């Protein structure tokens, strides 16, 4: 009898010990998972701000050409011919507080793109020049190549275009260290001179001729906005989904479907393709989307779309022509596909939770744009919390529907 009781007590202690280990293990996994989810938020909080103003070299058109030499790459354009001449000197980039000087800015993030960048720039400049020469066109433009801490000759290649065409057509913004694609685009957007600004990849994967259609859709959304000049045009590859399912490996299709569902639940149900690197912003939308951007790598597109969704900023999704371009630095094998999907899911959770809890706040805006702070556009919330912003956005969509 005594031995039976003793064995039962020993068995109970063993079970309790196993339960304690299970609870401890579960707690450790939860803490590690939480730390992983909030890692982007911690990185954004600890990220040092570059307080020094960015500068560019002021070139007159043809500054890099010896007498009698050809002007390729970067042939002279009508825009460069109108650019003022003068000696080369360093000047500070303008900011969003300045009035727009051109209709369209193209922000091109570039990290070790010395091979693919010239092809993209030649195609883009030829298209923009043909567009601007149309008698009915009022197009004026600039290209901002943002060097994201490249270790190759990306800066040399981009600067050659600036020398040949003039810095009013092509400018090079150099980041002192690698920030990631989102960080590079953010700095380019904050220093654009355009009334509209397009983020476009340096590989030229998206057909640049889709820009005119995207601009028209954005202007239509802008005219229908109850907040004045606030709109975003989103290039979309969603129409390729059926073809991609037929040609992709099964695991990529499963990941794609799962991520689409999570984007709808956690980020926004208004946009089908959030990751296409071809998005057009009005100047006022730039102030809302980029002055408080926290994510600078994987998920910056997700944060932008989520902010627009919370504030009710009009978004026009436009199908674009897109093709895979060799030289990807992110997806090189099956493991990269899985890791990229996990990273995107992590960033979706981080964005949703941080804005839901009020850890991150959106930039307030009115019909006139951001509320000014000391004569400059502020980057902090000034009286509108995220719950109020969300209600404001929902109210705007409800009024528009009525």
Q: What is the percent of the chain where pLDDT is above 70?
A: 70
pLDDT band at 370 (very low <50, low <70, confident <90, very high): very low
Average pLDDT over residues 198-204: 94
Residue with tokens 């030829």: 126
User: 3-state SS of 66-100?
Assistant: CCCCCCCCCCCCHHHHHCCCCCCEEEECCCCCCCC
**pLDDT at site 230:** 87
Asked if pLDDT for residue 391 goes beyond 90, the answer is no
For the ranges 128-132, 251-255, 320-324, the lowest mean pLDDT is seen at: 251-255
pLDDT band at 159 (very low <50, low <70, confident <90, very high): very high
| Burial annotation 247-264 (CB, 10 A radius, 16+ → b, else e) | eeeeebeebbeebeebbe
pTM of the entire structure?
A: 0.79
**pLDDT at site 297:** 83
Instruction: For domain 54-401, give the CATH superfamily.
Output: Spore Coat Polysaccharide Biosynthesis Protein SpsA; Chain A (3.90.550.10)
Asked if pLDDT for residue 300 goes beyond 90, the answer is yes
Asked if pLDDT for residue 279 goes beyond 90, the answer is yes
Q: What's 248's DSSP letter?
A: S
Residue spans per domain, the chain = 54-401
Highest mean pLDDT among 76-80, 128-132, 219-223, 294-298: 128-132
Q: Bridge partners of 376?
A: 373
Closest C-alpha among 203, 110, 106, 94 to residue 156 = 110
Pairing of strands 170-174, 194-200: unpaired
Residue with tokens 């006139």: 368
**Angstrom distances, CA of residue 11 to CA of 8, 20, 214:** 5, 14, 70
Asked if pLDDT for residue 193 goes beyond 70, the answer is yes
List the Cα angle 245/240/301 in 5-degree steps.
105
Asked if pLDDT for residue 227 goes beyond 60, the answer is no
For the ranges 220-234, 316-330, 331-345, 381-395, the lowest mean pLDDT is seen at: 381-395
Q: What is the percent of the chain where pLDDT is above 90?
A: 41
CA torsion 196→201→207→211, rounded to 10°? 0
* Per-residue pLDDT reduced to its tens digit, 28-50: 888 888 888 888 888 888 877 66
Q: Is the dihedral of CA 295, 299, 301, 305 positive or negative?
A: negative
pLDDT band at 395 (very low <50, low <70, confident <90, very high): very low
**pLDDT at site 366:** 47
- Mean of all residue pLDDT scores within the chain: 78
């Amino acid at each position: 009898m005594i031995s039976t009781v003793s064995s039962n007590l020993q068995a109970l202690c063993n079970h309790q010990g196993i339960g304690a280990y299970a609870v401890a293990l579960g707690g450790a996994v939860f803490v590690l998972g939480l730390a992983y989810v909030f890692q982007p938020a911690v990185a954004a909080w600890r990220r040092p701000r570059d307080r020094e103003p960015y500068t560019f070299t002021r070139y007159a058109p043809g500054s890099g050409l010896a007498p009698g030499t050809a002007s390729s790459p970067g042939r002279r354009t009508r825009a460069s011919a109108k650019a003022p001449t003068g000696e080369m000197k360093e000047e500070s980039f303008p900011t969003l507080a300045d009035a727009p000087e051109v209709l369209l800015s193209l922000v091109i993030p570039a990290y070790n793109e010395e091979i693919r960048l010239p092809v993209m720039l030649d195609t883009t400049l030829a298209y923009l020049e043909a567009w601007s020469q149309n008698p009915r066109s009022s197009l004026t433009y600039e290209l901002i190549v943002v060097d994201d801490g490249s270790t190759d000759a990306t800066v040399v290649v981009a600067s050659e275009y600036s020398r040949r065409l003039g810095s009013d057509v092509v400018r090079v913004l150099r980041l002192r260290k690698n920030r990631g694609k989102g960080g590079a685009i953010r700095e380019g957007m904050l220093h654009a001179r355009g009334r509209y600004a397009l983020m476009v990849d340096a590989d030229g994967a998206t057909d640049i001729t889709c820009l005119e259609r995207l601009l028209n859709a954005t202007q239509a959304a802008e005219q229908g906005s109850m907040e004045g000049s606030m709109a975003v045009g989103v290039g979309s590859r969603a129409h390729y989904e059926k073809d991609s399912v037929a040609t992709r490996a099964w695991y990529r299709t499963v990941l794609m479907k799962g991520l689409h569902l999570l984007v709808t639940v956690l980020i926004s149900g208004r946009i089908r393709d959030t990751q296409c690197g071809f998005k057009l912003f009005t100047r006022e939308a730039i102030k809302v989307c980029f002055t408080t951007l926290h994510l600078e790598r994987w998920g910056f597109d997700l944060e932008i779309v989520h902010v627009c969704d919370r504030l009710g900023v009009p978004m026009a999704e436009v199908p674009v022509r897109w093709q895979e371009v060799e030289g990807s630095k992110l997806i090189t094998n099956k493991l990269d596909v899985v890791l990229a999907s996990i990273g995107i899911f992590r960033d979706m959770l981080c964005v949703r939770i941080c804005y839901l809890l009020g850890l991150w706040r959106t930039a307030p805006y009115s019909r006139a744009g951001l509320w000014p702070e000391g004569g400059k556009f502020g980057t902090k919330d000034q009286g509108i919390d995220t719950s109020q912003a969300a209600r404001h956005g929902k109210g705007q969509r409800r009024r528009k529907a009525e």
